[in-house]
Amino acid sequence: YSTFPHSPTWKKEDVTYRILNYTPDMLQADVEEAIARAFQLWSSVTPLRFTRVYSGQADIMISFAAGFHGDFYSFDGPGGTLAHAYPPGNGIGGDAHFDEDENWTKFTTYSGYNLFLVAAHELGHSLGLSHSNVFGALMYPIYMATDTRDYQLHQDDIDGIQALYGPPKESPALPTKAFPPQEPTEMIPAEAPTEMSPREEPTEITPSKPPQRPDDCDPHLTFDAITTLRGETLFFKDSYVWRKSPYFSEIEHDTIFSFWPSLIAGFDAAYEVDNKDRVLFFKDDQYWAVSGYSIQSGFPKPIQNLGFPTSVRKIDAAVHDQNTKRTYFFVGKQYWSFNENTQSMERGYPRKIAADFRGIGHPVDAALQKNGYFYFFHGSNQYEVDIKKKKLIRIMKSNSWFNC
Amino acid sequence: FPVAPEKEKEDMQFAKKYLENFYDFKEEKTLFKAKDLNQMSDKIREMQSFFGLEVTGELNHKTLDMMKQPRCGIPDIRS
């Protein structure tokens, strides 16, 4: 953890806060709850008590604004900087500003930022903490989409705030009200404060362990999805991706997180539309579009947007044919053909895979077009097919691309 | 990944602004381009070290990707 220069703190235990305005993205009551819960996180590990006021000057003034908003740190539109807050002090000291150009949400979703999580981080600044370089700590500078239903502060956060204010006295203080509120708002039903149990030996908080990393040359290796990307070929399995590049001889093996931290691993399918520098990832009934590392805004979208009937809840594999500008989607023993030019599913589909792809009589796990051939992966085997001649060329191990 | 060429310059500008915002990088308008690039490399090293990335001083894809993550607007390092 770290504190601001000269470690400014509030020289009192009773700190007031006021919510100056609201985001239209959420119900006012949800905004108030998120803020109150964020304060409760800090009051539960310090002697501090937070009281909401409804008028006049409070120690911590909370507001939503976009772009330039009266201080020297303008916001930057969607993404990038989400919010900022000032260390304890007079005037703007302690104040927390949230970028209204973001989509604020009550829960952790793909399509927005969880207000409770961001507010808890910013209020850490309002109390005097600066950033932590401990991955998983609340005061880590980067937003980590986390399940907040039973959110616990990282030991690093607790060490930092208690270095400034010490531990709580008897029981965690809950945010209280100073005046009869103008609008009746329900006090957040918090569990009765329990005696602060001596914390077990802090376990290092690490992201949930990804499944065991598969061995590149395991003859039983199977894949979830395969796609090209800017001349490289990416093979996906669970939370891992193998990268085969024409520029380097060895195969790089990474986590999907290291390329797209906000995408959930375990893709069902992926394909590249190379002339648009765009790769689409599919998981269950949603899909995302990325360009390099950047996830395009407005995603995820439902796969029905592509023309699938609601009866299709996920797809097994996808591959784009650069020659015909058609993308083939494989579901069970059938497949669809999608016209990338007209952005619509072609008529007369679905058709049986076996009818048009000789020798492929079973569901497809992943599909790839390379060197003029199609490669269909099923379990630990792949089938090389010349679709012009409608001929199965050969059958190989799925990981034959890894120079085993 | 291979970087689409027109993006390289754009990425450099983005990185400069990021380092100014969060790592107290000050681009001095010096005649000596090399000096300016060295200062930027130093700041890239600071940022890579903060996030536990391989400290190379180069704007590689992992570094750029980390810069593009949604984050708090408060600097990580301040003078």
Are A43 and A74 a contacting pair, CB within 8 Å? no
Q: Which of B1, B62, B71 sits opposite A82 (nearest CB)?
A: B71
Distance CA(A139)–CA(A132), nearest Å, equals 5
Interface contact A24, partner B, CB < 8 A: no
DSSP character at residue A274 = G
Distance CA(A254)–CA(A138), nearest Å, equals 25
Interface contact B73, partner A, CB < 8 A: yes
Burial (Cβ within 10 Å: 0-12, 13-18, ≥19) of residue A163: middle
Task: Please state the rounded mean pLDDT for residues A285-303.
Answer: 89
Reported ipTM: 0.88
Residues of chain A with Cβ-Cβ distance to B64 below 8 Å are 293
Residue A56: how many other CB atoms lie within 10 Å: 9
Q: How far is A250 from chain B (nearest CA, A)?
A: 15
Name the closest residue on chain B to residue A260, using Cα atoms: B65
Longest pairwise C-alpha distance within chain A: 81
Per the annotation, the verdict on A13 as an active-site residue is: no
Are A247 and B78 an interchain contact pair (Cβ–Cβ within 8 Å)?
no
The tokens of A323 are what? 């020659």
Partners of A116 in the β-ladder: none
Rg, chain B, Cα only: 12
pLDDT at A252: 85
Residues of chain B with Cβ-Cβ distance to A261 below 8 Å are 69
Burial (Cβ within 10 Å: 0-12, 13-18, ≥19) of residue A260: buried
Distance CA(A77)–CA(A370), nearest Å, equals 40
Q: Is the pLDDT of residue A122 over 90?
A: yes
- Region for residue A298 given its phi and psi (left: phi exceeds 0; alpha: psi -120 to 50; beta: otherwise): left
pLDDT digits (tens, 9 = 90+) for A47-83: 999 999 999 999 999 999 999 999 989 999 999 999 9
pLDDT at B33: 60
Distance CA(A60)–CA(A367), nearest Å, equals 55
Q: Is the pLDDT of residue A183 over 50?
A: no
Where does the pLDDT of residue A176 fall: very low under 50, low under 70, confident under 90, or very high at 90 and above?
Answer: very low
Are B4 and A84 an interchain contact pair (Cβ–Cβ within 8 Å)?
no
Residues of chain B with Cβ-Cβ distance to A244 below 8 Å are none
Place of tokens 């990804």: A210
Name the closest residue on chain A to residue B77, using Cα atoms: A131
Interface contact A141, partner B, CB < 8 A: yes
